[in-house]
Amino acid sequence: MELQAHYSVKANGKEVAAQLRDRIAEVRVTLRTGLLSDTCYVKFDNLGNLPITAPQGAEDLEIGMGYKQGTDDNSAPIVEMGKYSVGEYQLIGPVRALELHGNKVLWDQELKTLKFKSWPNSDDAPLMLTDVISEIAGQYGLSPCIADSYQQIQLPQIEQSESDMQLLSKLAEQYDAFMKIVNDKLIFMNKGTGRSLSGQPLPEVVLGPKWLTSWVLNAQHYKSVGEVKAKFYDFDIAELKVVNAGSASPSHILPYVFADEASAQVAAQSKLAQFKRSHKSVQLHTFGKPDIVAGGVVEIEDVADEINGRWYVNEVEHVINGQGYYSYVNCEALAE
């Protein structure tokens, strides 16, 4: 690869990479799906006679990565990797180094605070999934962005004894949703579809033999599930009923009792889709591709029949160091 890796590091809005480029040993960014925080790591050669001042309290880092492509540093194209709050640093010796660890600035601390709240449900005022997401988003100044497929889901009464973040995470897991806080928006959308919130196909990053340095395919047959059953209570006849998604074996039964048949059916279909995606996964080691993002899609071409095709990106780590620029990508099968 005749490309020269390039990066940008801004501390509290000021570019420092140009001034300290010969002192920066490694820049790493990890992008994840869900409410797990994206993270960054920057390692400096902290020479004793020219020490770099350690952070005083929380400071912000903005990271960008790309390739020079024959241009100078000031005009080289950069893909922004996000803004991070440095909450931890380490000084290392005797070969002195300074390591900064940052987390994505995503949410208010109150979102992670234990809360007790009753979310009632009744025939006159049914509790909708969109109501819960919208109310929690509004409490933290976020705009809810919810996919159409979740608009009509009714929930049973919820007695909350956990943080709002835990409640949202549980609902996202239950309905197989991709949930993320991005640019003051709380996004709740179908996971693993390769489509945006509006339903449009996401841009795909193509990877061929010239880009991939290694790959591992995991096929976990013990996770294979052919049918998911969900229970709901039919109040008209005072009877517990069961719906199913899929018709093959083995079968998995959800432990919840849902408010109505429609909600139970959606939950069963969501769980079956989750099982189908997690049945196969692939880990990729590739020359750096800054346009690979968590929640996006990569298409593998002309590598091996077992992994050729489109894959959903669960997590990607971009690393620039003395070895060059590499991306480590964890993928699972796209939802059908």
- Tens of pLDDT, residue by residue over 77-136, are 889 998 888 888 888 888 888 899 988 755 556 788 899 999 998 888 889 999 999 999
For the ranges 35-39, 278-282, 318-322, the maximum mean pLDDT occurs at: 318-322
On whether the CB atoms of residues 10 and 65 are closer than 8 A, the answer is no
Summarised one tens digit per residue, pLDDT across range 237-265 is 888 999 999 888 888 888 888 878 888 88
Assign residue 213 a region: left if phi > 0, alpha if psi is -120 to 50, beta otherwise? alpha
Residue 1 has pLDDT above 90, yes or no: no
First to last CA, the chain: 35
Summarised one tens digit per residue, pLDDT across range 165-211 is 899 988 988 888 888 887 788 889 888 777 776 667 777 899 999 99
Q: Is the dihedral of CA 7, 8, 11, 12 positive or negative?
A: negative
Size of the chain in residues: 336
For the ranges 40-54, 94-108, 217-231, 277-291, the maximum mean pLDDT occurs at: 277-291
pLDDT at 198: 66
On whether the CB atoms of residues 110 and 137 are closer than 8 A, the answer is no
pLDDT at 123: 80
For the ranges 12-16, 194-198, 283-287, 308-312, the maximum mean pLDDT occurs at: 283-287
Q: Out of 146-155, 167-176, 257-266, 295-304, pick the least confident.
A: 257-266
Residue type, 136: I
Q: Chain centroid to CA 75: how far?
A: 30
308 compared with 3, residue with greater pLDDT: 308
pLDDT at 75: 62
Residue 137 has pLDDT above 90, yes or no: yes
pLDDT at 72: 65
For residues 3 and 175, give the distance between their C-alpha atoms in angstroms, rounded to a whole number: 42
Residue 49 has pLDDT above 80, yes or no: no
Residue 67 has pLDDT above 70, yes or no: yes
For residues 179 and 281, give the distance between their C-alpha atoms in angstroms, rounded to a whole number: 20
For residues 19 and 130, give the distance between their C-alpha atoms in angstroms, rounded to a whole number: 48
Q: Report in angstroms the alpha-carbon separations of 28 from 104, 186, 258, 318.
A: 13, 26, 43, 6
pLDDT at 59: 81
CA angle 166, 169, 175 (to 5 degrees): 140
pTM over 0.85: no
What is the average pLDDT score of the chain?
86
The whole-number average pLDDT for the span 132-149 is 92
Angle between helices 164-174 and 261-278 (to 10 degrees): 80
Residue 277 has pLDDT above 80, yes or no: no
Determine the 3-state secondary structure of 151 from DSSP: coil
